[in-house]
Amino acid sequence: MKTSYDILIEKLRQFILKYYKNQIIKGILLSIALIISFFLLINLIEYFAWSNTAMRTGLYYSFFTITLLVLGYYVLMPVLRMFNMGKALSHEEASKIIGRHFPEVSDKLLNTLQLHALDKTGQLELITASINQKAAELEPIPFKRAINFKGNKKYMRYVLPPLLVLLLLSAISPSLLTKPTRRILNYNTHFEKPLPYTVRLLNTKLTTIQKNDFTVEIEVVGDVLPSLLQLNDGQYAYRMGETAAGKYQYVFKTLNQDVHFTITTPEYTSQTYHIQVFPRPLIYGFQSNLKYPLYLAKEDETIENTGDLVVPEGTTIQWKIFTKDADSVKMQLDDRVIWLTANNSNTFEYQQQVFKSFNYTISPINQYVKQPDSLVFTLQVIPDEYPEINVQEFQEQGYYSQTHFSGEIKDDHGFYSLTFLYRK
């Protein structure tokens, strides 16, 4: 059988439940007022501003952030507390709220709760009797009447004005809401403000090769043309030169990296365009390692960064070509073409023993540049001529005749020995 105190606690629980239901109703009304007001505000800003993608991104996330914060504070928190999740209303706090509505029971209700806190074991009969007596006296009091749902009508004065504005705009000029909303929802999409002229990019491709110039070509069509047309690369705005009626251009000189730009007038900003700059294959150095024929007794040597060579016949040449951004290297030796692949770190090698003179070219290649600038060189080979020997014979007259030989020997590379052979 329930005691008077148990009945009192149940009534307090019902009061707390109704209290949070009232908080939820109040929160829903205030949330509607705040969310509609902010929705109208950001639509008004976007309607007149025609914001760029960055600003529309800010408006988009601001709206959803504020919506979540408002619903979380005014609706979700009361719901969680109603189910005793989080810091819910205590019996003592509830008694103070009831006491403000029923002043005659304020002290009695709080004292009953405090006495029960003292008699947690139930062994103090005097206190227990006092608790039951006070609880019985409070039993007829309708605690739930301290909460009146009708009191939430006062919050309608916050809901009705923005709601009426929303309904009127939807009925009279829905585009005032739908167009800004569509632009904000599609915040990553570029939208152009309606103007008496149209700005067109004439370039069909926005790609170029490193170190090249790139000309941006623009056409403006309309009954009224802008007073100023500029190209903005994010750091500076450059006035575009007019080449013909309604035709404009700007030249980027010697591009080394990608460029992002917009075209602007006093009333207009285009979408962001992207010029993609592909790497140019380069040769930044090379070596020619010369290995001379052994019979020359000449020390091997390395020649840096020059391709015009003069070498003896039979010399073995190893070319080492150092490149940047090259997938392959094309070497053309007179009418013979050799394709080289990198062995490591963009270094290409080729070796050949040479016996005749020829011209040769070296061309770095990558997937973007198939016909690059080439380096042209001449290789001159010095023929290895046979030695020349001139011999003269002199015969002495007399009893003891003797034969004398004299002569001359020469070679283009010199000689290191001479052998005289004779037959008796």
pLDDT in tens, 384-419: 777 778 878 777 766 566 777 777 877 766 666 777
Q: How far is CA 421 from CA 30, 89, 327, 405, 424, in A?
A: 125, 129, 61, 12, 10
pLDDT given at position 41: 95
State yes or no: pLDDT of 143 exceeds 60.
no
pLDDT given at position 391: 78
Query: Do 282-382 and 197-278 fall under one CATH topology?
Result: yes
Instruction: Describe the crossing of helices 4-49 and 175-185 by its angle, rounded to 10 degrees.
Output: 90
Q: With bands split at pLDDT 50, 70 and 90, how would you rate the model's confidence at 347?
A: very high
pLDDT given at position 317: 96
State yes or no: pLDDT of 40 exceeds 50.
yes
Task: Name the token pair of 26.
Answer: 């109040």
Mean pLDDT of 203-220: 96
Task: Name the token pair of 160.
Answer: 């009705």
Q: Average pLDDT over the chain, rounded to whole?
A: 83
Between 404 and 119, the more confident residue is 404
State yes or no: pLDDT of 280 exceeds 80.
yes
Percent of the chain predicted with pLDDT > 90: 51
Q: With bands split at pLDDT 50, 70 and 90, how would you rate the model's confidence at 131?
A: very low
In 3D, which of 308, 303, 311 has the Cα closest to residue 286?
303
Task: Name the token pair of 314.
Answer: 């039979």
Q: Was domain 282-382 assigned CATH 2.60.40.10?
A: yes
Query: Which positions ≥6 away from 3 have C-beta within 8 Å?
Result: 132, 135
pLDDT given at position 92: 58
pTM exceeds cut of 0.85 = no
Condensed to tens digits (0 to 9), the pLDDT of residues 162-211 reads: 999 999 999 998 988 999 999 999 989 888 788 889 999 999 999 999 99
Q: Residue 344 gets which letter from DSSP? A: B
Structural domain boundaries in the chain? 4-185, 197-278, 282-382
CB distance 312 to 382 below 8 Å: yes
Q: With bands split at pLDDT 50, 70 and 90, how would you rate the model's confidence at 272?
A: very high
Q: With bands split at pLDDT 50, 70 and 90, how would you rate the model's confidence at 138?
A: very low
Q: Quote the CATH superfamily of domain 197-278.
A: Immunoglobulins (2.60.40.10)
Mean pLDDT of 244-267: 94
CB distance 59 to 45 below 8 Å: yes
pLDDT given at position 123: 45
Between 414 and 66, the more confident residue is 66
Question: Which of 89-103, 290-304, 372-386 has the weakest average pLDDT?
Answer: 89-103
Give the span between the Cα atoms of 338 and 356, in whole angstroms.
18
Condensed to tens digits (0 to 9), the pLDDT of residues 234-253 reads: 899 999 999 999 999 999 99
